[in-house]
Amino acid sequence: MKTYTVAILGATGAVGQEMMKILEERNFPVGKLIPLASARSAGKTMKFKGEDVVIREACDTAFEGVDIVLGAAENDIAEKFAPAIVKAGAVFVDNSSAFRLNPNVPLIVPEVNPEDVKNHKGIISNPNCSTIITVTAVNALNSIAPIKAMTASTYQAVSGAGANGPIELMNEVEALRQGKTYEPKVFSHQIAYNLIPQIGSEQYEGYTSEEMKMQNEGRKIMHLPQLNVSCTCVRVPVVRSHSISVTCAFDSPVTVEQAREVIAKAPGCKLVDDLKNKQYPMPLDTSNQDIVFVGRIRPDLTNPNAICLWCCGDQVRKGAATNAIQIAELLVK
């Protein structure tokens, strides 16, 4: 079997560490792994397949001889090193939002638009975590009738803010238990026992940057250029797995039975939809795995051409690291 030299840019972060774990889990044909991080981490080691792998400093020359670079760093780092990665002849599968809306860069969810991979010019973008989970859940409905519009509310776990998100939640819970105060550092407000209805900065007409991703990225991934999405993103005191309430509107009626049938067969989805027996997707059930659970499928009582549903998925795995590695798997095929 052919093997590949794989670099992880931002290997020490939460997503980078998860990428390393998933490469091993999925038996990706890694001949050589190169963890890349900042100068302060260079020289330290990380475990991969039971062996210590030395972290290297990310620099322009670090990509020579690399086949695939998995990006797990912020926009500025991705933009800084993308030219060197492409020049070195590697393919950059980037988890940041730096290139997602670039018309020359494919934006891929492998269960939805795998054929777009072949259009890459050295860079492929990984979509936003909530977008990945949502389009995986709803894309099959397009086989019944094209989705015209979506109304969505996301309930996003603290781990979506990075490794320090869950730490802050736990510290706040413990401080409150002891009657003490805790000054938030990761979030703009206390997240313990609270909801924060803002993720990202204001971008358009009172919508945040995180909320606009659902429309702008969803259009590109599902090849629905006229798709309109009204989204509200909320940070919730859940450690892992994002949940999304979605209403999909169509030009013609779609029945609940039709929706359940296609979603049950959709790649990457698991139908969990039995209200009578209290069976529905929940963050606790969807964490630390790669399937998007879909349930609470029901008619929209305000629109005869719409269907409501609820979905949950692990945003560190399927919403980030696993999706990137699935893209890499498409490349090596």
Nearby residues of 206 by Cβ (< 8 Å), 6 or more positions away:
none
Q: How confident is the model at residue 27 (pLDDT cuts 50, 70, 90)?
A: very high
Q: Average pLDDT in the 67-89 region?
A: 97
CATH of 131-315, one of 3.20.20.120, 3.90.550.10, 3.40.50.150, 3.30.360.10: 3.30.360.10
Question: How much is the pLDDT for 333?
Answer: 87
Report the alpha-carbon distance of residue 55 to residue 46 in Å, rounded.
7
CATH architecture of the domain 4-127+320-332 equals 3-Layer(aba) Sandwich (3.40)
Instruction: Return residue ranges of the chain for CATH 3.30.360.10.
Output: 131-315
Percent of the chain with pLDDT over 90: 98
Q: Residue 204 is which amino acid?
A: Y
> pLDDT by residue (tens digit) across 84-121?
999 999 999 999 999 999 999 999 999 999 999 999 99
Instruction: Return residue ranges of the chain for CATH 3.40.50.720.
Output: 4-127+320-332
Is 231 a catalytic site residue? Answer: no
Q: Average pLDDT in the 64-81 region?
A: 97
Report the alpha-carbon distance of residue 275 to residue 259 in Å, rounded.
16
Q: How confident is the model at residue 1 (pLDDT cuts 50, 70, 90)?
A: confident
Report the alpha-carbon distance of residue 35 to residue 54 in Å, rounded.
7
> pLDDT by residue (tens digit) across 163-176?
899 999 999 999 99
> pLDDT by residue (tens digit) across 259-301?
999 999 999 999 999 999 999 999 999 999 999 999 999 999 9
Q: Residue 112 is which amino acid?
A: V
Question: How much is the pLDDT for 163?
Answer: 87
Angle, helices 14-25 vs 322-332, to 10°: value is 50
Is 223 a catalytic site residue? Answer: no
The residue among 325, 326, 331 whose CA lies nearest residue 20 is 325
The token pair at 315 is 């945003």
Entry pTM: 0.96
From the list 120, 242, 308, 312, the catalytic residue is 242
Question: How much is the pLDDT for 215?
Answer: 96
